[in-house]
């Protein structure tokens, strides 16, 4: 949370690691990652060969 506080302060967003809290922070991270993964539409053949269970992420560029 300290790192988050520093980054937000640099952006001019007031945040105190002791006075503020983010409820369900792991859940928020999961939502963000899931949203990002949904936008992965292309994978290379090399990636699919190394990660056979990831084939549903996309197709070959082209």
Give me the residue spans of the domains in the chain. Answer: 2-57
Which of 29, 4, 30, 7 is CA-nearest to residue 17?
Answer: 4
- Is this model's pTM higher than 0.75 or not? no
- 5-62 pLDDT tens trace: 899 999 999 988 887 777 777 888 899 998 888 877 677 888 878 887 775 655 555 4
The whole-number pLDDT of residue 12 equals: 95
* DSSP 8-state symbol, 56: G
The whole-number pLDDT of residue 60 equals: 52
């Amino acid at each position: 949370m300290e790192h988050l506080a520093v980054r937000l302060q640099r952006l001019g967003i007031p945040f105190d690691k002791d006075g503020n809290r983010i409820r369900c922070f792991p859940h928020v991270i999961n939502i963000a990652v899931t949203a990002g993964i949904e936008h992965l539409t292309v994978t290379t053949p090399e990636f699919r060969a190394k990660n056979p269970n990831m084939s549903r992420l996309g197709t070959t560029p082209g």
